Amino acid sequence: MRTCLFPGTFDPITLGHTDVIDRGLDLFDRMVIAIGVNSSKTPMFALEERMAWIREIYKADARVEVASYSGLTIDFCKKLDARFILRGIRSGGDLEYERAIADANRTVAPGIETIFLTPVPQYSSIASTLVRDLYKYGGDVSAFLPAAVLEGIQRLKQ
Query: Which residues are designated catalytic?
Result: 17, 41, 90, 128
153 labelled ligand-binding:
no
41 labelled ligand-binding:
yes
Distance CA 42, CA 46 (A): 9
CA dihedral of residues 9, 23, 81, 114 (deg, nearest 10): -80
Distance CA 68, CA 60 (A): 20
87 labelled ligand-binding:
yes
Cβ 44 vs Cβ 131: under 8 Å: no
123 labelled ligand-binding:
yes
128 labelled ligand-binding:
yes
24 labelled ligand-binding:
no
Residue 73, phi then psi, degrees to nearest 5: -60, -40
The total of other beta-carbon atoms located within 10 Å of residue 103's CB is 11
30 labelled ligand-binding:
no
Residues of each annotated binding site for ATP: 9-10, 17, 88-90, 98, 123-129
Binding site, annotated residues for substrate: 9, 41, 73, 87
Residue numbering of the annotated binding site:
9-10, 17, 41, 73, 87-90, 98, 123-129
